[in-house]
């Protein structure tokens, strides 16, 4: 009987799972490179604005009651 030769490039379940996980990893890397850095910079700017707003001294003027 002739048994079919197994090709080293044949797709089996394990290789299909690895291909799907690799494609998912590439998708995450692309989405991070497209928007992740900008979002991080905007977060840093918002944090700096919030902390500088809370650090400003506030003066309360006394009110005189008649």
Rounded-to-10 torsion of CA 40, 42, 44, 49: -170
Cβ contacts of 24 within 8 Å, gap of 6 or more: none
Q: Cα dihedral sign for 29, 33, 39, 45?
A: positive
Q: Which domain holds residue 38?
A: 13-45
Q: In which residue are the tokens 């044949």 written?
A: 10
Examine residue 32 and state whether it is found in any structural domain, yes or no: yes
- pLDDT in the model for residue 54: 67
Q: Is residue 29 part of a domain?
A: yes
Quote the number of domains for the chain.
Answer: 1
- What is the percent of the chain where pLDDT is above 70? 71
Kindly report the pTM of this predicted structure.
0.47
Is the sign of the CA dihedral 45, 50, 51, 55 positive or negative? Answer: positive
pLDDT of 23 over the 60 cut = yes
């Amino acid at each position: 009987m002739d048994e079919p030769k197994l090709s080293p490039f044949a797709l089996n379940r394990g290789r299909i799972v690895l291909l799907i996980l690799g494609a998912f990893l590439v998708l995450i890397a692309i989405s991070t490179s497209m928007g992740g850095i900008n979002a991080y910079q905007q977060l840093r700017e918002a944090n700096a604005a919030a902390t500088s707003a809370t650090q400003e001294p506030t003066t309360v003027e006394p009110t005189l009651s008649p």
